[in-house]
């Protein structure tokens, strides 16, 4: 008992000295009870102190990011469903009569493959250029205004109209059979494709400003003719077909380069969201124009006006189904890198 009493006296003396020193040093008072417990064996709680836990931080998978909000489908005629649209179809939404939005496009099929808690917004418009995507068509609000921070997934195809492919195709088809008018467009088309890069960066930037957490999937264009054409088709010589294939490849490569560069920037900053390119160039292999079961419509010509009908060289129902497969596969696969989207979970379940 005597030794225990002496030990307590020593602890009290030490505590008193420390208390004076700490007070003089302006030590925060909240630390003193802990010192009292450690030195004096006094004032200690009878149960362990409740310690708050930090929220759990979970990195989202690509699918979780895509399904975190609204699905917004934008773009040109390859996204609107031009190739399967008809005037007798009920409108998908306002403006479907001019934009030729069809339920047979890939976007509605993607919407059926996943459950998007925010629903689907489908506003792709036939004839859209990168500029019109930002400024509007036919008196309708710009497609870009359909995007907000609730978007988890955005899909689009864009660039073909910037390159002037409709007029290019018309020139190729209505030329005299022995004329080189088709391939003579090479320099002009190449220049327009090069100019597309700047406008596409602007589109991606605007999408990101409006939906910084979303995955943006940009779909390329399919090769229209077989890799090795065997003869003339729709007044297009073998050389014409190969040239059109080459221009499609050049357009796709330009779009891919811009999208890939944009995603590298996002990843480099460790930012959420993504920009992803889906290469569709070989998607219709074996089903190009001129084959037994084409996934692209052949020529529909208005001979009175000498113009090519808009459905020409656009995907058929099978073509849009193939596009839907590509997009849904990309949704599942992701950008090929970890997403930088995170979810905070309250450990208390509150």
pLDDT in tens, 155-165: 999 999 999 98
Does residue 329 sit within a domain?
yes
Residue 4 φ/ψ, nearest 5 degrees: -65, -40
- Secondary structure percentages of the chain, helix, strand, coil, to 5: 45, 10, 45
Pair 169, 196 in one domain: yes
Pair 217, 253 in one domain: yes
User: What residues contact 4, with CB distance under 8 A and at least 6 apart?
Assistant: none
pLDDT at 138: 86
The CATH number of whichever domain residue 246 belongs to comes to 3.40.50.1110
Pair 123, 229 in one domain: yes
Q: Residue 21: pLDDT above 50? A: no
Pair 87, 144 in one domain: yes
Tell me how far apart the alpha carbons of residues 82 and 129 are, in angstroms, rounded to a whole number.
Answer: 15
> Number of structural domains, the chain?
2
Pair 33, 155 in one domain: no
Does residue 50 sit within a domain?
no
Mean pLDDT over all residues of the chain?
85
Pair 35, 99 in one domain: no
Tell me how far apart the alpha carbons of residues 58 and 61 are, in angstroms, rounded to a whole number.
Answer: 9
Does residue 47 sit within a domain?
no
Tell me how far apart the alpha carbons of residues 105 and 317 are, in angstroms, rounded to a whole number.
Answer: 8
Distance of CA 231 to the CA centre of its chain: 38
pLDDT at 26: 41
Q: What percent of the chain has pLDDT above 90?
A: 66
Pair 6, 80 in one domain: no
Pair 194, 89 in one domain: yes
Tell me how far apart the alpha carbons of residues 245 and 291 are, in angstroms, rounded to a whole number.
Answer: 15
Does residue 82 sit within a domain?
yes
pLDDT in tens, 302-346: 666 666 678 889 999 999 999 999 999 999 999 999 999 999 877
What size, in residues, is the chain? 350
Does residue 49 sit within a domain?
no
- Secondary structure element (H or E) that encloses residue 343, with its range: strand 342-345
pLDDT at 297: 93
pLDDT in tens, 261-309: 999 999 999 999 999 999 999 999 999 999 999 999 988 766 666 666 7
Q: List the domain range (segments joined by +) for residue 68.
A: 56-345
Q: Residue 348: which pLDDT band, with cuts at 50, 70 and 90?
A: low
pLDDT at 246: 96
The set of catalytic residues is 77, 314
Tell me how far apart the alpha carbons of residues 157 and 75 are, in angstroms, rounded to a whole number.
Answer: 5
Q: Is 155 exposed, middle or buried (0-12, 13-18, 19+ CB in 10 A)?
A: buried
Tell me how far apart the alpha carbons of residues 74 and 116 are, in angstroms, rounded to a whole number.
Answer: 16
Does residue 246 sit within a domain?
yes
Residue 56 φ/ψ, nearest 5 degrees: -80, 135
């Amino acid at each position: 008992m005597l030794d225990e009493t002496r030990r307590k006296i020593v602890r009290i003396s030490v505590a008193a000295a420390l208390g004076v020193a700490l007070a003089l040093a302006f030590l925060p008072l909240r630390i003193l009870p802990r010192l009292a417990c450690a030195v004096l064996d006094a004032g200690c709680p009878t149960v362990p102190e409740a310690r708050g836990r930090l929220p759990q931080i979970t990195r989202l998978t690509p699918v979780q990011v895509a399904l975190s909000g609204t699905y917004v489908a934008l773009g040109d005629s390859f996204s609107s469903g031009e190739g399967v649209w008809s005037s007798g179809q009920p409108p998908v939404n306002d403006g479907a009569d001019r934009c030729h939005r069809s339920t047979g496009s890939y976007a509605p099929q993607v919407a059926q493959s996943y459950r998007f808690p925010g629903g689907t917004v489908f506003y792709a418009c036939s004839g859209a250029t990168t500029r019109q995507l930002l400024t509007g068509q036919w008196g309708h609000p710009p497609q870009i205004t359909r995007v907000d921070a609730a978007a988890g997934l955005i899909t689009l195809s864009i660039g073909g109209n910037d390159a002037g492919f409709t007029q290019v195709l018309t020139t190729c088809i209505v030329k005299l059979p022995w004329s080189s008018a088709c391939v003579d467009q090479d320099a002009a088309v190449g220049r327009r494709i090069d100019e597309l890069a700047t406008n596409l960066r602007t589109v991606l930037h605007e999408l990101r400003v409006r939906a910084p957490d979303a995955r943006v999937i940009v779909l390329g264009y399919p090769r229209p003719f077989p890799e090795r054409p065997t003869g003339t088709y729709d007044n297009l010589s073998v050389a014409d077909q190969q040239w059109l294939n080459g221009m499609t490849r050049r357009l796709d490569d330009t779009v891919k380069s811009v999208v890939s560069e944009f995603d590298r920037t996002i990843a480099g900053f460790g930012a959420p969201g993504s920009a992803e390119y889906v290469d569709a160039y070989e998607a219709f292999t074996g089903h190009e124009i001129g084959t037994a079961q084409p996934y692209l419509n052949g020529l529909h010509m208005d001979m009175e006006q000498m113009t090519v009908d808009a459905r020409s060289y656009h995907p058929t129902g099978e073509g849009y189904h193939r596009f839907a497969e590509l997009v849904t596969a990309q949704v599942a696969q992701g950008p090929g890198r970890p997403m930088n989207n995170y979810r905070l979970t309250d450990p208390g379940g509150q």
